[in-house]
Amino acid sequence: MRRPGRTSRPTPGVFLSSRSEPRHAAGRRSVKCRAMTDLAAALHRIFGFEDFRPGQEAVVRDVLAGKDVLALMPTGGGKSLCFQLPAVLKPGLSIVVSPLIALMQDQVRLLEDNGVAATYINSTLRSDEIQRRLAAAMRGEYKLIYLAPERLLLGEFLEGPLQRLSVDPGISAFVIDEAHCVSEWGHDFRPEYRQLSTLRRRYPQIPLLAFTATATARVRVDIAAQLALRDPARHLSSFNRPNLFYRVRPKSKGTYTELLAQARAGGAGIVYCLSRRRVEELATQLQGDGIAALPYHAGLDAAIRRDNQEAFIRDNAQVMVATIAFGMGINKPDVRWVSHYDLPRSLEGYYQESGRAGRDGDPAQCTLYFGLGDIRTAEFLIQQKLDPDSGDPLEDEQRIARQQLRQVLSYAESTECRRAIQLRYFDETFQGPCGACDNCCEPRTQRDCTVESKQLLSCIARLAQRSERFGAAHIIDILRGSRSERIVSRGHDTLSVYGIGSKWRVPEWRDLIRALLHQGLVAETQDGYPVLLLNAASWEVLRDQRTVRISEAPAKAPAKGRAALPTSSLGASVEGRELFETLRALRKRLADAQGMPPYVIFHDATLREIAERRPVTLGEFAGIRGVGEAKLARYGEEFVAVVREHAS
C-alpha cells in the first residue's frame, strides 16, 4: 500500500480538474484527455459503467481536486458513486458519516461486491469486532469507512482512532451523507449532525463533502453554514425523476380493486397508509387475495419489522404495506410502484416516499389516492399536536402542518403537470408537459358547477336560518331527497332545497364539497365533528358574483398498459422473457447463498441487457453495463453458462 501525504491530493498528472486555463489550453488538452480516459476506465473497471449519469462526473472531478463540495442529487441519481469512486482513486481513507445503520450496511455490501474494500462501524457490532476493523483501517486495508455521527463525535473516538487514521493511512475526505439532517429547516433534523463542524475545526485541511437528496434553498444555506464548508463547489442536480409516472386517483369503493390490479401486474411495491390499523387491514386483505404482502409499522415488534423488511428487500415478499416509519435507509432499487392509500403529510414527504420507486432508473408508478375523508383525518391529526404539559395547542406546529396540508391538497386537486408542482417546491422551474403524469397524459376537463354549488350552499343557508348545522353526508341526503328517518324526523323534507340535487350521485356531491373546501368557497368546523358553514366567499357564489369550476377526475382507472413493467422492453419475445426470468432465478439463488439482497448482485437493467445481448463468453459478458472486474470474476461463469444453456 502506498503511503500518501497528509493532504491526500490526487495523484499529480493523472486526475486533473477539468478546468483548464486558456493560456495552457493547448498543452493541457492531451493531459485532460488522458485524465478523462483514466476516469472512464476506472468507472468501468470498478462499477462496470461505460459512462457517468447526469451530473456525476462534475462532482467526481471536484472531489478529486480536493475541494469542499455541496451536492444535491435526487434519490436514484447515483449520489453515492460521486464520493465512492474518488475514495477508491485517492490515497488514504474516506470517512462517510451516515445516520442510518441499514443504509451503511447496504452500501458496504454493494461496494464489497464490486471489489472495493469498505467497512462500517456501528452499534450492531461487538466491541472486539470494532477493534478488529479499526486496526485493519489503520493498516490501510479500507478505502471507505461508514460511521454514525454519534460514534464519530465521541471524544474518545476523535482523540484516539480518528487522530491516528488522519496520520496513517491519512483521511482523503469526510463525506457527510444525508447532509440535510444538519438543518432544523429540513424534514429530518438530527441534533448530533450540528456537531459535525468539529471535523472542520480539528482537520481544516481535509475536504468536507456534503451530499443530500433533498434540500430547499434554505436548507442548502444552512448545510454550508453549519458544516463550515469552505467555498464549496456546489452541484445542484435536477430533482426531476423522469422515470416516475405520477398520478392522483379519487378514493372510492373501487380503490382497493385498483390497488390489487397494480399488485397483480407485478413488481415490488410499497403501499403507504396513515394508521397502523389500516396497514394491518390492507396487508391482510391483499394476502387474502393471494399477494405476498407484509405489514410494517412502529407498533410491530422490532424483530418482526426487521424480518418483514428483509423479506421485502430479498424479494421474498412482493408488497410492503407500511406507515411512513418504513423506507428511510432502505435502498431497494427495483421498487416498481409506490401507492399512497392516505394523504401524505407534506409535499416533501410525498416526493421522498414516492421517490422510493424506480431508483434503478427503470419506469415506475407513483399513485396518490385522495378523498374527502382524508382531509378530515389530516385535520384531526393536526389538532392532536398539543403541548404535553399544558394540553394547549402547539400553534406554530399546527400552523406549519396546515400549510403543508394545503400544499398537498393543491397538488392533488391541481390540473397542472404534477412534476412541475413538485419541482417548484424545490425551487426548480420545469416547463410541462412532462409526458409522464396523469394531468399531462389525460388532461382533465374543468366543468362549471356554479348551479350545483349554489344548491349546496343554499341548503346550508336554509339550515342556518333554522339554527341548524350539519355535515356533508346529511346535506347530500337533503339535496338528493333521501327518505331516511334522520331527514324526515327533522322535517328536512319540507325544505325548498329538498331533492333539488337528485341528478347527482353521492360521490359527485362529495367531490364538489371537497373542491369547494379546497377553493375556500365553503368552511368546515374543525372541532372533531365536521359541520359545513358558509363564509364570505360562499355568499359571493350565492349572489352570482363568482362562478365555480372544478376539475373532473378521469372516470375510469388508467389503461392497464400504462403500468407496463420495464421488462416489456424485451418485446414480444417469449424467449427473451424466459431467459430474463431464468437469470432472475439465478440471481436470487446466488444472493440467498450469500445472505444478501438480489439487487446487490445485479440490477434488473443489467439482467435485461444480458437477456437481450446474450453474452456467451466472459469477454462479451464484461461488456454488459453494471459488470465491473469484481463481478465478472465472481459471477461471470455462472451467468454465461445460463445464457449458453438457454441458447442450446
Pick the stretch among 98-106, 426-434, 473-481, 571-579 that binds Zn ion (CB under 5 A).
426-434
Cα separations in angstroms, 59 against 151, 152, 179, 475: 27, 25, 16, 59
Pick the stretch among 38-46, 85-93, 411-419, 470-478 that binds Zn ion (CB under 5 A).
411-419
Residue 419 makes contact with Zn ion by CB under 5 A? yes
Query: What's the closest the beta carbon of residue 251 comes to Zn ion, in angstroms?
Result: 21
Residue 338 makes contact with Zn ion by CB under 5 A? no
User: Is the CB of 437 or the CB of 605 nearer to Zn ion?
Assistant: 437
> How many alpha carbons lie under 13 Å from residue 375 in its C-beta half-sphere?
26
Residue 241 makes contact with Zn ion by CB under 5 A? no
User: Is the CB of 290 or the CB of 443 nearer to Zn ion?
Assistant: 443
User: Is the CB of 443 or the CB of 520 nearer to Zn ion?
Assistant: 443
Binding-site string for Zn ion from residue 367 to residue 406, where x marks contact by CB under 5 A and - marks none: ----------------------------------------
Burial class (CB in 10 A: 0-12, 13-18, 19+), 577: middle
Query: What's the closest the beta carbon of residue 426 comes to Zn ion, in angstroms?
Result: 16
User: Is the CB of 373 or the CB of 433 nearer to Zn ion?
Assistant: 433
Minimal CA–CA distance to 82: which of 193, 183, 212? 212
Query: What's the closest the beta carbon of residue 431 comes to Zn ion, in angstroms?
Result: 10
Beta bridge partners of residue 342, listed in sequence order: none
User: Is the CB of 340 or the CB of 419 nearer to Zn ion?
Assistant: 419
Query: What's the closest the beta carbon of residue 418 comes to Zn ion, in angstroms?
Result: 5
User: Is the CB of 118 or the CB of 244 nearer to Zn ion?
Assistant: 244
Cell numbers at 173, concatenated: 475526505
Query: What's the closest the beta carbon of residue 422 comes to Zn ion, in angstroms?
Result: 10
Helices (H) and strands (E) in the chain, counts: 29, 17
CB 100 within 8 A of CB 80: no
Query: What's the closest the beta carbon of residue 342 comes to Zn ion, in angstroms?
Result: 23
Query: What's the closest the beta carbon of residue 347 comes to Zn ion, in angstroms?
Result: 15
Cα separations in angstroms, 630 against 1, 92, 499: 19, 21, 74
Query: What's the closest the beta carbon of residue 416 comes to Zn ion, in angstroms?
Result: 8
User: Is the CB of 299 or the CB of 435 nearer to Zn ion?
Assistant: 435
Pick the stretch among 14-22, 192-200, 290-298, 416-424 that binds Zn ion (CB under 5 A).
416-424
Pick the stretch among 135-143, 429-437, 561-569, 640-648 that binds Zn ion (CB under 5 A).
429-437
User: Is the CB of 268 or the CB of 338 nearer to Zn ion?
Assistant: 338
Query: What's the closest the beta carbon of residue 414 comes to Zn ion, in angstroms?
Result: 10
Residue 90 makes contact with Zn ion by CB under 5 A? no
Query: What's the closest the beta carbon of residue 235 comes to Zn ion, in angstroms?
Result: 25
Task: Compute the distance between CA of residue 306 and CA of residue 329 in angstroms, rounded to an integer.
Answer: 13
Residue 624 makes contact with Zn ion by CB under 5 A? no
Residue 423 makes contact with Zn ion by CB under 5 A? no
Query: What's the closest the beta carbon of residue 417 comes to Zn ion, in angstroms?
Result: 3
User: Is the CB of 553 or the CB of 642 nearer to Zn ion?
Assistant: 553
Pick the stretch among 122-130, 188-196, 437-445, 611-619 that binds Zn ion (CB under 5 A).
437-445
Task: Spell out where 520-647 has E strands.
Answer: 523-524, 532-533, 549-551
Considering only residues 172-191, where is the footprint of Zn ion by CB under 5 A? Answer: none
Burial class (CB in 10 A: 0-12, 13-18, 19+), 369: buried
Cα separations in angstroms, 445 against 248, 420, 513, 535: 15, 19, 18, 27
User: Is the CB of 291 or the CB of 421 nearer to Zn ion?
Assistant: 421
Q: What are phi and psi of 22, to 5 degrees?
A: -55, -40
Beta bridge partners of residue 119, listed in sequence order: 145
User: Is the CB of 176 or the CB of 417 nearer to Zn ion?
Assistant: 417
Query: What's the closest the beta carbon of residue 523 comes to Zn ion, in angstroms?
Result: 32
- Angle ∠(452,458,459) on CA atoms, nearest 5: 95
Task: Compute the distance between CA of residue 322 and CA of residue 298 in angstroms, rounded to an integer.
Answer: 9
Query: What's the closest the beta carbon of residue 440 comes to Zn ion, in angstroms?
Result: 3
Cell numbers at 37, concatenated: 480516459
How many angstroms from the chain centroid is the CA of residue 125?
Answer: 29
Q: Cα torsion at 31, 33, 39, 41 (round to 10°)?
A: -120
Query: What's the closest the beta carbon of residue 314 comes to Zn ion, in angstroms?
Result: 34
Cell numbers at 510, concatenated: 362529495
Burial class (CB in 10 A: 0-12, 13-18, 19+), 2: exposed
User: Is the CB of 81 or the CB of 563 nearer to Zn ion?
Assistant: 563
Pick the stretch among 8-16, 113-121, 141-149, 433-441 that binds Zn ion (CB under 5 A).
433-441
Query: What's the closest the beta carbon of residue 562 comes to Zn ion, in angstroms?
Result: 14
Beta carbons within 10 angstroms of residue 195's beta carbon: 14
Residue 417 makes contact with Zn ion by CB under 5 A? yes
CB 297 within 8 A of CB 323: yes
User: Is the CB of 368 or the CB of 627 nearer to Zn ion?
Assistant: 368
Pick the stretch among 233-241, 410-418, 526-534, 564-572 that binds Zn ion (CB under 5 A).
410-418
Pick the stretch among 5-13, 432-440, 573-581, 592-600 that binds Zn ion (CB under 5 A).
432-440
* Residue in 69, 100, 320, 437 binding Zn ion, rule: CB under 5 A: 437
User: Is the CB of 322 or the CB of 437 nearer to Zn ion?
Assistant: 437
Burial class (CB in 10 A: 0-12, 13-18, 19+), 183: buried
> How many alpha carbons lie under 13 Å from residue 518 in its C-beta half-sphere?
26
CB 628 within 8 A of CB 44: yes
What is the DSSP code string of 562-579?
GG--GGGGGTT-HHHHHH
* Residue in 434, 456, 459, 515 binding Zn ion, rule: CB under 5 A: 434
Task: Compute the distance between CA of residue 60 and CA of residue 12 in angstroms, rounded to an integer.
Answer: 16
User: Is the CB of 432 or the CB of 499 nearer to Zn ion?
Assistant: 432
Residue 248 makes contact with Zn ion by CB under 5 A? no
User: Is the CB of 248 or the CB of 456 nearer to Zn ion?
Assistant: 248
CB 566 within 8 A of CB 509: no
Residue 247 makes contact with Zn ion by CB under 5 A? no
Beta bridge partners of residue 533, listed in sequence order: 523
Size, binding site for Zn ion by CB under 5 A: 6
Query: What's the closest the beta carbon of residue 415 comes to Zn ion, in angstroms?
Result: 11
Helices (H), 300-391: 302-313, 347-354, 372-383
* Residue in 69, 144, 440, 475 binding Zn ion, rule: CB under 5 A: 440
Q: Which residues bind Zn ion (CB under 5 A)?
A: 417, 419, 432, 434, 437, 440
